[in-house]
A and B are shown apart, each in its own frame.
Chain A
Amino acid sequence: MSSPPTAPPQPPETRSGGLDEPSPGGGGRGGRLRGALAFLRNTWRGLTSMRTALVLLFLLALAALPGALLPQRSLNQSLVDQYFTDHPTLAPILDTLGAFEVFASTWFAAIYLLLMISLVGCVLPRALEYYRGARAAPVATPRNLARLPHHDEGDVAEDVEAFLARTRTRLRGWRRIERSEPGGVRTVSAERGYLRETGNLVFHLSLIGLLIGFAGGKIYGYEGDVIVLADGSEFCNTSILGYDSFRAGLQVDGTELNPFCVKVDRFDASYLPNGQPSTFSADLGYQSGEDLDAGTTTWRPDTISVNHPLRTGGDRVYLTGYGYSPQFTVTWPDGTTRSGEIQWRPVDRSTQLAEGATKFERPGVTDPVQRTNSQLALTGTFAPTAALDTEGDLASAYPGLRNPVVELNVMRGDLGIDDGRGQSIFTVDQAKVDSGELRSVARADLAPGQTTRLDDGTVVRFDGVGSWVNLQVGHDPGQLWVLVFAVTMVGGLAVSLSIRRRRFWVRVVGSGTGSRVQIGGLARTDRAGYGEEFDRVAAELLRPGHDTDISHGDTQKKDG
């Protein structure tokens, strides 16, 4: 490397000794001892914590990466299963390492806990030091100003007092102190940019607050999903049993949910001609916890849509999914009828092709054997805008209801609902089909209003199509805190990074009728960019009246 470093000589550690803390002229012995201790403490802090923090930050970045590159259980279990199928040897190994649940793994927790400790251990002492240092006078002028990274000197025509007066004016806004040295030498020490440290501390303290808020939300929060038909059906947040799926925080057992009720009246979706969705919304009514306590029976109206959840109490209700629910009426030969509407699940979200199983029990049948022979399941595929795919199967060409058709496979026999095992509402029990206890008795493609007749004379009618919505209920007591700390964090960051802590020293002594002036400058923290300001101020002091423009050069940069 042939070129000598052009960067200003840096003190070995930002907050430790060296040029950074020029020794004051005549410190007492106690001061010196304290100085030495402070030096040791600073060095320890600088060398250990800063580097540790750096290493931990790297580890954190590295540890988070698999969370993006490997499928995660918390996001998509089926992708994880797929990964197991594709990589039968690697996947179990990764699994024992927790690679499919990175953000719940112990090693991830270990890293961020260490970082938290390091952060607290670093920031609290600094906050104290900051508090003490906030009122300290700027440090004394170093003996040899020519050794500083920024330096200038020259003669001025004014006498010392006049020059000092002008310096005071120019350095208004800087924290200053004037001192005298032997031989009629006067010095000015000025410092500016204390806000940098303030911003830095606000940033790091906010970070601690943010992480606590985040963790708190994870511990005391919950999230649940529930499908509700958009036909005036209701859902109440009273117990986790009401949910289709529920993810509880560590300290949530599901017994103390915030009560509130929601009634979904209507769902609307609109699409562009190419089938891309353009708007979704659900009209609903709700009763907040207070309403329920007060025994109110009316519903407060609201409309929720993507980006516009319902917020009530500490809970939020989101519209996160929707689909169709075909409506059927079954008329048995004896004239009894039953109507049914249940959600079918979309198999293709872009066209809303759906599949499902609407299940019926024949009314009035009490004999257990007969019951298990006469249960019906209307299974099949539903297309809101029917079309045929290349293999001649029913497909959907458009997600809106332009030409709804349901391709039915009617099954009769034992659905297995009495076995006490829960079963999917979207499918029939395959075991019953395999064992022959559930048999297909008719197939038909129906448009709304059309019917099909089974072998025993039962008539199945496709009445029409309703819709359902998926509501996601979220409760996160830490979220507001996270927001508040995130805002103060950015503020602190912006302040800290836009302000430079910098020092400016002047030493002046009378010479003839004028004065001889030496000026030095040092940027305490990162460095880059003080040169211009220094040059400007120095030029104004040394060459008043001259309109010197050297703002672009770093001409005063001292070579190391």
Chain B
Amino acid sequence: MLVDPIMSLWSDRLFQGAVVVYLIALLVHAAEYVVGRSPSLRAAAPVAAGAGSASGSGSVAVATPPEGVTVGPVGDDSATSDESVRGRRSRADRYGRMAVSLTVLGVLVHLASMVARGLAVSRWPLGNMYEFTSALCLLALVSWLVALRRIPTIRTVGVFVLAPVLILMFLAGTVLYAQAAPVVPALQSYWLIIHVTTITLGSGLLLVPGVASVLFLMRRSGRPARLVARLPSADVLDRIAYRVTVVGFPIYTFAVICGAIWAEAAWGRFWGWDPKETVAFVAWVIYAAYLHARATAGWRTTRAAWINAAGFATILFNLFFINMVVAGLHSYAGL
């Protein structure tokens, strides 16, 4: 049997389940945002300002700063809570924790959906746009959770990570949806597994800096005011953008090289300026420019953020526009 219909059905249901869970997580994050916003701002601002950093006002927890040293947004664990804001804070905090737990749950369901898809078709589940987009979202959320673990203060950004992921998931489940099926001969190669997996991983990782850079720019411009008030400080956003980019970019580079190796075996040349290859190249050059900007005076922060956002826009453009409209050799089965 080529396709296991029961497994395939399960995969679809789990996918829908994950979308629902993410949606709830998004709403709870939004609640966290709304509840936590103004009161904690007022309560935290004087302390933060006293420590010399108004940009840290997004933080809800304020540690007693060591002498003469600014407190950036620090860990949000209740141990450091200030009595006067405790009630409000813990409510927002509860919502926030709930949203993160929901995201974790969603990720598990989502992962199960991909595994079921793989079992249904007895192949690596990255053979068409639907599967690819699904995996991309999964990896973006995993990298988000990892980033969150390392820098807990970014939790308020959850809305902005979940929203694009949900949009992508929605597109995947509707426009891009493809029935479970085996893949065409060109895709029957272990390079498929390596290339597409790493490309997904790289792009999924790069989603995070993309979002962080856009938020950074919003934060810098201060608009829209209501929205940016509870964002992490510009510095934190900038740091996330850089640190995740330096992980994502080498993986992306590696993935493009694997693609070239695979193309050499499948299409007779390792590089042929096929539209997909061309845009991958453009995105790569943009990220190289980003890293250069980080080492160039006057380009380090705002301009670099623009470049990073442009890089991610290019990756999305490659994923959607090029696959669906231009379609060179790369067009996947099922679309």
Contact = CB atoms under 8 A, between A and B. Distances in A.
Interface of A: 1-7, 10, 12-14, 46-47, 50-51, 53-54, 57-58, 60-61, 64-65, 67-69, 72, 74-75, 102-103, 214, 223, 272, 274, 276-280, 305-309, 316, 318, 320, 472, 474, 476, 479, 482-483, 486-487, 489-490, 493-494, 497-498, 525-529, 552-559
A70 to B, nearest CB: 10
Give 10 closest A-B pairs by Cβ, nearest first: A3-B55, A68-B278, A6-B235, A497-B246, A553-B74, A68-B275, A57-B289, A306-B185, A318-B268, A61-B285
Contacts of A50: 292, 295-296
Contact of B239 (A309, A316, A525, A528): A528
B5 interface: no
A371 to B, nearest CB: 41
B222 interface: yes
A529 B239 contact: yes
B254 A1 contact: no
B249 A497 contact: yes
Contacts of A53: 292
13 contacts: A3-B233, A51-B299, A64-B285, A67-B273, A68-B275, A75-B274, A223-B268, A276-B184, A277-B184, A306-B185, A490-B250, A529-B243, A558-B70
Contacts of A69: 275, 326
B286 A61 contact: yes
A445 B222 CA distance: 75
B175 interface: no
Interface residues of B, number: 80
B3 to A, nearest CB: 9
B269 A476 contact: yes
B50 interface: no
A472 to B, nearest CB: 5
A307 B265 contact: yes
Given A67-B273, A307-B262, 11 more contacts: A2-B55, A6-B70, A57-B289, A64-B278, A276-B182, A318-B268, A474-B269, A479-B270, A483-B270, A497-B249, A527-B242
Contacts of B239: 528-529
A214 B273 CA distance: 13
Contacts of A498: 246
B53 A6 contact: yes
Contact of B278 (A3, A67, A316): A67
Interface string B257-295: 100111011111111111110110110011011011111
Contacts of B56: 3, 6
A60 B56 CA distance: 39
Nearest to B278: A68
Nearest to A67: B278
Interface stretch (B61-69, B88-96, B100-108): B61-69
B25 interface: no
A479 B278 CA distance: 18
A46 B74 contact: no
A555 B182 contact: no
A487 B261 CA distance: 11
A75 B322 CA distance: 15
